[in-house]
Amino acid sequence: MGKNLNIAVLPGDGIGPEIIDQALAATKAIAEKFGHTLTYEFGITGAAAIDKVGDPYPEETHQLCMNADAVLYGAVGDPRFDNNPKAKVRPEQGLLKMRQKLGLYANIRPLTIFKSLIDKSPLKNELVDGADFVCIRELTGGIYFGRPQGRSEDGNTAYDTCVYSRDEIERILKLGFEFAAQRRKKLTVVDKANVLATSRLWREVAQEMRPQYPDIEVEYMFVDNAAMSIIQWPKRFDVLVTENMFGDILTDEASVISGSLGLLPSASIGIHTSLFEPIHGSYPQAAGKNIANPLATILSAAMMFEYAFNLKEEGNLIREAVEKSIEQNIVTADLAGTGKAYQTTEVGEWIVNYIKNK
């Protein structure tokens, strides 16, 4: 029986509108094929919203997200605001504001290796072949949101505060344990407990929770060791869970293993509405050129079907279509190598046709 799927679509800046168009086309094709009723509405965010209303995450956009079952998100960022000390508000502030107001407390980034692209990884084949792990990053606490924050009157001293509460840590660790239970039953808690008080609280809470999950193997790893191990032995990991800044850095590092940032989706799980987006940025240099890789955004739509709507078969079909497009070299310039480079729209159309004809 078909479901009613109500989504908010936020294209954002740079290549955001182009890649969102392809993800939305795939979403429409899936909804039609499986008999679901899809409704969607567009909202503004990032630099596009600053230009229109002076706010990177206006209240109208927030209400649109609150009323939706899921948010499909492009990317934010504009070079006009980079290294501009006169900018009173920046596009990225809209994303932080959204995370807070929607309660998006967990960022889920799966890393899988496509066999047909394994040679594009900067690591040796034997290191990455079979790597398959999930990074769970706490998203609404830590040094990015800690107070006080600021600079001294003379401007020569700056300070940030890293703050975590027991409730915040328990919430994200519970998600980590649950993911591990559904996978290979191994959880790696990443911290810096030898230096930071917040990390010591993370480790303390994890140790208290561990008896509730007796079938889960738990290991504790300092963030610097984790950073090395992701490169040296990525196949050792199943589920990693960590705080906000560590997760920001480690997930970007892990993304390189796949061979292209244009391949990796993510989900931000929220108290209210969950959000699905590619992990790459707005890539303004490519905006309007029809060359951007849409696969990460299309795979984010697959995660949306799975996590927001519990529609596994639909998500799997999108994933299969993406994998087949890569196998048949229907890819954009970043993956094409010396072969033919297809346009953003051509890749999207091929995937839609695969879904329709499967």
pLDDT digits (tens, 9 = 90+) for 206-252: 999 999 999 999 999 999 999 999 999 999 999 999 999 999 999 98
**Structure confidence at residue 183 as a pLDDT band (50, 70, 90):** very high
Count of Cβ atoms closer than 10 Å to residue 262 Cβ: 25
Say yes or no to pLDDT of 1 above 80: no
Strand 104-112 versus strand 265-270 pairing type:
antiparallel
Residue 256 CA to residue 109 CA, distance in Å, equals 13
> Looking at 120, 185, 248, 324, which residue is catalytic?
248
Upstream peptide bond of 148 is cis (omega within 30 degrees of 0): yes
pLDDT in tens, 69-125: 999 999 999 888 877 777 788 888 898 899 889 999 999 999 888 887 888 888 888
Quick check: is 248 catalytic? yes
Per-residue model confidence (pLDDT) at position 149: 85
- Cα atoms in the 13 Å half-sphere on the side-chain side of 79: 7
With a CB cutoff of 8 Å and minimum separation 6, the contacts of 285 are: none
Residue 251 CA to residue 8 CA, distance in Å, equals 25
Query: For 183, which DSSP code?
Result: T
Per-residue model confidence (pLDDT) at position 335: 87
Per-residue model confidence (pLDDT) at position 230: 96
**Structure confidence at residue 326 as a pLDDT band (50, 70, 90):** very high
Hey, what's the torsion of the CAs at 135, 138, 143, 149, to 10 degrees? Answer: 140
Least confident of 61-65, 325-329, 347-351: 325-329
Burial per residue of 185-210, b for 16 or more beta-carbon CB atoms within 10 angstroms, e otherwise: ebbbbbbbbeebebbebbbebbeebb
C-alpha 115, offset from chain centre: 22
> Looking at 78, 192, 238, 354, which residue is catalytic?
192
> Looking at 224, 289, 340, 358, which residue is catalytic?
224
Residue 157 CA to residue 22 CA, distance in Å, equals 46
pTM over 0.85: yes
Quick check: is 55 catalytic? no
Domains detected in the chain: 1-105+266-358 (3.40.718.10), 122-258 (3.40.718.10)
Mean pLDDT of 348-354: 98
Q: Between 166-182 and 197-209, two packed helices, what is the crossing angle to 10 degrees?
A: 50
Say yes or no to pLDDT of 256 above 80: yes
With a CB cutoff of 8 Å and minimum separation 6, the contacts of 254 are: 109, 111, 133, 135, 230, 234
Quick check: is 224 catalytic? yes
> Looking at 144, 174, 185, 186, which residue is catalytic?
144
Q: Is 107 helix (H, G, I), strand (E, B) or coil?
A: strand
Q: Is 128 helix (H, G, I), strand (E, B) or coil?
A: helix
Quick check: is 192 catalytic? yes
Q: Where are the beta strands (DSSP E) in the chain?
A: 4-12, 37-42, 70-75, 104-112, 132-138, 150-151, 158-159, 186-191, 217-222, 239-242, 265-270, 274-278
With a CB cutoff of 8 Å and minimum separation 6, the contacts of 141 are: 105, 163, 164, 165, 168, 243, 244
> Looking at 21, 51, 69, 252, which residue is catalytic?
252
Say yes or no to pLDDT of 280 above 90: no
Quick check: is 215 catalytic? no
Beta-bridged to residue 71, according to DSSP, are 8, 275
